[in-house]
Amino acid sequence: MYVQELWRYPVKSMAGKSVDHIEITELGVADDREVLVINRNGRIVTSRTHHKLLGLKGTIGEDSLPKINGYPWDSSEARALVRGAAGPDVELIYSEGVERFDVLPLLVATDGAIKHMGFDHRRLRPNVVVGGVEGLDERNWPDRRLRIGEAVVHVAQLRGRCVMTTYDPDTLVQDFAVLKSIVRELGGVMALDCSVISPGLVRVGDPVAVMG
């Protein structure tokens, strides 16, 4: 097995970017989901309730700072884009805390399960896509460890999927059949919530091994 793809999402709930390497820290992927959209009560706003956020793209600029559609995350231009997607009262904040994550810091998907389901894997918003996996073998991995490049992670559980999977990553057109198929065929869970045991650098093409 090997690392087929790597993804980073600098702004939570926005489109991410495929990259050729990532640094996995104790809190997941470096520069991942470190900018958050919050409402007037300080609560995090996500694309579960404001799906237009998925139409905005988070990247890391040459200055190593997050950007939204090419604008610095803390600029007036970025703020206007976010308010257009999520309402006039939202703000952007920078955070390195655990509140950035819905469950655990790292989400791992596998090509076998993706092929089995037959939809665009970007709907799952994985950090790592593992290639060379037989069918639904990922379902045997919870409570085991994975060595991914230089990093070692613990597979805590299969991820319960939500309404975010129903939105096309490019058009934002909603298709409830995607989530219904995950519920019908996979009991509503797909891909793997992971915590980090040993940090390290991971590159596309690196070997992946299931450990005890």
Whether 150 and 70 share a structural domain: no
Identify the band that residue 100 occupies on the pLDDT scale cut at 50, 70 and 90: confident
Average pLDDT on 184-201 reads 97
Whether 84 and 178 share a structural domain: no
pLDDT digits (tens, 9 = 90+) for 1-22: 999 999 999 999 999 999 999 9
pLDDT digits (tens, 9 = 90+) for 53-62: 999 999 999 8
Query: Is pTM, for the whole model, over 0.85?
Result: yes
Whether 112 and 192 share a structural domain: yes
Whether 120 and 181 share a structural domain: yes
Average pLDDT on 80-103 reads 92
Asked if the model's pLDDT at residue 127 lies above 90, the reply is yes
Count of domains in the chain?
2
Mean pLDDT of all residues in the chain?
96
At residue 57, the 3 state secondary structure works out as: strand
Element (H, E) at 179: helix 176-186
Whether 78 and 117 share a structural domain: no
The pLDDT score that the predictor gives to residue 190 is 98
Closest-CA residue to 105 (of 208, 169, 22): 22
Report yes or no on 12 lying in a domain: no
Whether 111 and 73 share a structural domain: no
Whether 170 and 85 share a structural domain: no
Average pLDDT on 91-120 reads 93
Q: Report yes or no: 185 and 177 within 8 Å, Cβ to Cβ.
A: no
Question: CA 31 to CA 61: how far, in whole Å?
Answer: 11
Whether 201 and 131 share a structural domain: yes
Whether 129 and 175 share a structural domain: yes
Identify the band that residue 103 occupies on the pLDDT scale cut at 50, 70 and 90: confident
Residues contacting 128, CB < 8 A, separation 6+: 3, 5, 6, 7, 106, 107, 108, 109, 148, 202
Q: Choose one of 82, 100, 118: the last residue of a domain.
A: 100
Which residue segment(s) compose the domain that 38 sits in? 30-100
The pLDDT score that the predictor gives to residue 101 is 87
The pLDDT score that the predictor gives to residue 98 is 83
Q: CATH number of the domain that 158 lies in?
A: 2.40.33.20
